[in-house]
Amino acid sequence: MIATSSWRALGTGITVAVADPSALAQAVAIVEHELACIDLACSRFRADSDLVHMNRNAGAWVKISPLLAEALAVALRAAELTDGLVDPTIGRALIAAGYDDDFDRIPKSGPATQAAERQSSRYQQLRLDSESQRAWIPSGVAVDLGSTAKALAADRAAAAVYTVTGSAALVGCGGDLSVSGPAPEDGWLVSVAERHAADTADETIAITAGGVATSGTVGRRWMRGEREMHHIIDPRTGEPAITPWRVATVAAATCVDANIASTAAIVKGEEARPWLEAQALSARLVRNDGTVVRVGDWPA
């Protein structure tokens, strides 16, 4: 019998499910610890985070924690795999768009903002020395790890729960979900919806391994002047992506890989479908008019 627990952290909904109900309390504690560590390492919204310290010292080599080093390596890999469309150096563009605090705290309407200066391929200028645990980012750059850090947290937490408790586990962080250990007989049943907190599912799938991630433009929106903003930035313009897709859900070998692909799909627009097919990934894309496009063997 599967046991579950849900709460809010990192500005989103968190879900933990375990195949062994007796492991639930320990699993929750493990996940809470992993999320707290990710927050301290990678948050753009707390003054004591490792990421904020690094951003404040742009232009100089900075000693960073092993977890931030891991998260930076994941983000740089995302940028390489997507030719810079999932770029960790969009921090200033997000701030310029009005996303300058935890989403629950930012004003949902406000005066018009000035677009960030367009800067292409800044991720290629980042330097990470894993051996000495140091990083260097160019002056004028602010790193944001929102595209990949929650997915990394889900993968790390699910693996930790299985390793420590021996129970198969599912960990969901908003739209990012990871499973570890032998799946239940019928798989983990996962509701796919445009918003992770939705009461009803658009579709239900069963997964046995890896991860699933949903990226979209509908959940985190706000107004600046007469313009509606969202949090997925197109690095080619420095502004919220103009895209035919309001939601992209991808299944992959890890939650991180699924997240990279789902975010890239939103930014790629009409190129998303052939790109996902070329990566042999299964996905569910929803157009702005509600039309559903299935890629690969989704939902199988």
Which two tokens mark 147?
């595209």
What was the pLDDT predicted at 265? 98
- How high is the pLDDT of residue 299? 87
Distances (CA, A) of 265 to 30, 166, 192, 214, 227: 32, 35, 17, 10, 23
Residue 118's pLDDT is what? 56
Torsion sign across C-alpha atoms 113, 117, 121, 122: negative
As a residue count, the chain comes to 300
Full set of structural domains in the chain with CATH: 1-300 (3.10.520.10)
Would you state the pLDDT for residue 119?
56
Return phi, psi of residue 261, to 5°.
-70, -40
The answer to whether the beta carbons of residues 231 and 146 sit under 8 Å apart is yes
Tokens of 258: 């699924």
The angle, 0 to 180 degrees and rounded to 10, between the axes of the packed helices 66-81 and 149-165 is: 120
> For 158-190, how does the pLDDT look when each residue is reduced to its tens digit (9 = 90+)?
999 999 999 999 999 999 999 999 999 999 999
Cα distances (Å, whole numbers) of residue 260 to 69, 80, 150, 232, 293: 18, 11, 11, 12, 19
Which residues, given as ranges, of the chain have pLDDT below 50?
A: none
State the Cα–Cα distance between residues 112 and 107, nearest whole angstrom.
12
Residue with token string 């605090």: 101
CB 11 within 8 A of CB 101: no
- The pLDDT, as a whole number, for residue 193 is 77
Give dist(CA 237, CA 102) in Å, integer: 23
**pLDDT tens, 96-110?**
887 777 777 777 777
